Amino acid sequence: MTPSLTNADGTPTSRFAFGTMQFGGRADADQSRAMFNACRKVGITHFDTAHVYTGGSSEALLGEFIAPECDRLTIATKVGYTGGAGAANIETQFDISRQRLGQDLIDLLYLHRFDPDTDLAETMECFARLKAAGKIRYVGLSNFAAWQVMKAVRVAAEFDLTIDALQPMYNLVKRQAEVEILPMCVDQGISVFAYSPLGGGLLTGKYAQDSAAGRLAEDERYANRYGAAWMAETAAELTLLGQQVDVDPATLAVAWVAASPFAPSPIVSARSVTQLIPSLAALNFRMPEDLYARLTALSQTPPPATDRLEEVE
């Protein structure tokens, strides 16, 4: 689904978003500013961060960069990854995030993950109060299963609130979202902003070299997430296909996400402008149907939600 969100000035939010998870961490202040400027140069207006990213440095740096033109941008942050989804924790983290970002109003506020120990009514009532007070424009959810989203949709409606955006993981080797999450979002009119379109860097092809540095080599969570042998094989085949069509594999990986019939918006990210350039190239890449089919065939298509496989066309 094409994003229905708008920037504060009323213009449509850009087709791609940029994720600032590296700001103030693997990317220093100068590298972070250079990536921000590169994104703005190609028309990206949607920038995504979170309360927990790099101990707050991500939000603080982003706040510095957006100050001269915040009305032309859509700024998203997330709360509740730590401390739960209770109202007091959400409000405390949100106020800290606003201070770091230098903004009274945050365009899009996500609940960073589902909290099974907190009544969703408390969470949604808190979001409704923040929206009614003019502190947020849109409400989002991140890392939610489809049933959790629909539960949130129902509970939010009790407070005259809508779920406007969902942020799932989605890339060529992580396609579970195709089963229920993406169709659900189309049905419910929820904008999708897909994170990790490069699979933590796996789909760039750099991990074909044992000495490659990056999250898969440095972060055990990413190593486990993308450690299956077939995923490495898919990445290798993607690199070969990229060579055949003379397109960087990272460009193909991001463009494949954007070309999905469900039309999610990729959230691109990087450590440096050099790393970022192939992802930004996907903005203007026109994916032929036959190439999309070839790329899709490189990975495992998840089975449908029903076991009645004889009824699947």
Residue 176 falls inside a structural domain: yes
Using one digit for the tens of pLDDT, what is the confidence trace for 114-123? 999 999 999 9
Return the ∠ at Cα 176 (arms to 206 and 222), rounded to 5°: 35
Residue 313: per-residue pLDDT = 63
Rounded to the nearest 10°, the torsion over CA 40, 45, 49, 54 is: 10
In the predicted structure, residue 214 carries a pLDDT above the cut 80: no
Residue ranges making up the domain that contains 117: 17-201+248-287
Quick one: CA dihedral 128, 129, 134, 136, positive or negative?
negative
Residue 113 falls inside a structural domain: yes
Residue 209: per-residue pLDDT = 63
Find the range with the poorest average confidence among 27-41, 45-59, 111-125, 193-207.
Answer: 193-207
Rounded to an integer, the average pLDDT of 38-55 is: 98
Number of domains in the chain: 1
Using one digit for the tens of pLDDT, what is the confidence trace for 265-292? 999 999 999 999 999 999 999 999 999 9
Residue 262 falls inside a structural domain: yes
Using one digit for the tens of pLDDT, what is the confidence trace for 180-194? 999 999 999 999 999
Residue 72 falls inside a structural domain: yes
pTM exceeding 0.85: yes
Amino acid present at 129: R
- Residue 219, token pair as written in the block: 């972060």
The catalytic position among 53, 81, 110, 170 is 53
Residue 140 falls inside a structural domain: yes
Query: Is 53 assigned a catalytic role?
Result: yes
CA–CA dist 246, 242 (Å, integer): 6
The CATH number of residue 110's host domain is 3.20.20.100
Confidence of residue 308 (pLDDT cuts 50, 70, 90): confident
Residue 119 falls inside a structural domain: yes
Residue 227: per-residue pLDDT = 87
CA–CA dist 249, 256 (Å, integer): 10
Residue 305 falls inside a structural domain: no
Residue 154 falls inside a structural domain: yes
Who contacts 64 (Cβ-Cβ below 8 Å, separation ≥6)? 102
What percentage of the chain exceeds 70 in pLDDT?
Answer: 96
